[in-house]
Amino acid sequence: MPIVKVIEVIASSDKSIDDAIRTAVAEASKTVRNIDSVFVKDIKAHVQGDQVTTFGVICKISFRVDD
């Protein structure tokens, strides 16, 4: 039975929440193999004036540990 490890990462995007999540997974996958899932723990948006400028997410990424 495989062991699953969870790491927490923070990512942002000036496009969308979806893009921030995809960025989190893409960056984590540069050093982590066997990613199974991502749980979005928190979402926030930065506002400047009356416009949303960036979206931020805190994600928990789960991956299987190699035997």
Give per-10-residue mean pLDDT for the chain (67 aa): 93 97 97 96 97 97 90
- Split into its structural domains, the chain has a count of 1
pTM over 0.85: yes
The parent domain of residue 53 ranges over 3-65
Name residue 65's amino acid.
V
C-alpha distances (whole Å) from 9 to each of 27, 35, 48, 51, 64 are 9, 13, 24, 25, 17
pLDDT of residue 66: 82
